[in-house]
Amino acid sequence: MRGVGGVIAGCGGALCALLIIVGALGGGAPALDFLNHFLPVFSALGLLSFLAAAGCAKRGLRRRWWLMLGGFIVLGSWRLGPEVLARLAQPHDDLKGIRIVDLNLFKDNPAPGATARWILNEDPDIILLEEALKRGADVRRALSADYPYQVSCLTRMRCSTVILSRYRPKLVGGLAHGDPENRRAISAAWAVFDSPHGDILVIAVHMQRPWPLGDQEFARQMIAEMLDRQPRPVRDLAIVGGDFNLTPWTWAMQRQDKMFGLVRLSRARPSWPASFPFLAIDHLYAGAGWRLGRITTGPRLGSDHLPLSATLVPSNG
């Protein structure tokens, strides 16, 4: 029985190792890169499987073989390391600055009141909301007294991606050229705010799902082009956040980081599903004019996503 268990565990570990290898080849192939979303799962299951197989092995040589394969899993998961280390190195300073909250509300959110109260308790200056329609719109309306300036990616608040702020916007617009609510266009709103620190460009994003495979590439190109059009002072104070449906250990995320030219603050922070988060798909970026005071993942609030809350401090302050 012990031998059978070892074989089953070894086969499970081998399957995970194969999936990790295939994903590592996905730099130019979206179909292969899709596997990298689940790299932490494959890594954990593969390592546990090989350790279980080593425990079931009767001979020392065979046990060492299984342990070597477990070491291969660790090496094959190298893309997890920089993200985890970057998160551990992030500051936790309670500094005064611009406070940002980002949350995919979930259109059928059963607790809009509790969600709005949590956001108000965080006391953000700028709020990025995705899926702010249906019951999610109740959250937006509950915040309207404290955040009178609300920008949608379509006119008359017909888009579910919105920006709420205490600052009056100087310019507003959207990147949705089509039907964002049916996944036929990127759902992204933008606004330029006149703040005490200078003009701040804020972009709220709800990226398409990673399937059809490669469908996100055009959307991230639109965001990158908009950032490139900004004067340097505005770009340095840019803030981009939202639900990107993209994890940090994909090759697509590495391309996106380079295209945006901003600092990604949300390092290795699982946010979906809220009941048992293992996919880090909600992200915040900031320009070179900011330094991070703190960033935290919030509680479960009736959405299938966990919120992000961050404080940004001017880097020259």
Phi/psi at 172 (5° precision): -140, 160
- How many C-beta atoms surround the C-beta of residue 207 within 10 A? 23
CATH 3.60.10.10 spans which residues of the chain?
91-314
- How many C-beta atoms surround the C-beta of residue 167 within 10 A? 18
Is residue 164 a contact partner of residue 129, using CB atoms and an 8 Å limit?
A: yes
Residue located via tokens 């959110």: 109
Domain 91-314 -> CATH class: alpha beta
Sign of CA dihedral 23, 24, 30, 32: negative
Reduce the DSSP state of residue 11 to 3 states and report it.
helix
pLDDT in tens, the chain (317 residues): 556 666 777 788 888 888 998 998 988 788 899 999 999 998 888 888 877 877 776 665 466 666 666 676 777 778 898 999 999 999 988 788 899 999 999 999 999 999 999 999 999 999 999 999 888 899 999 999 999 999 988 777 778 899 999 888 999 998 876 666 666 667 899 999 988 888 999 999 999 877 765 678 888 999 999 999 999 999 999 999 999 999 999 999 999 999 999 999 999 999 999 999 999 999 999 999 999 999 999 999 999 999 999 999 998 76
Residue type, 20: I
Phi/psi at 31 (5° precision): -65, -35
Verdict on whether the full-model pTM lies above 0.85: yes
Rounded Cα gap, residues 147 and 194, in angstroms: 15
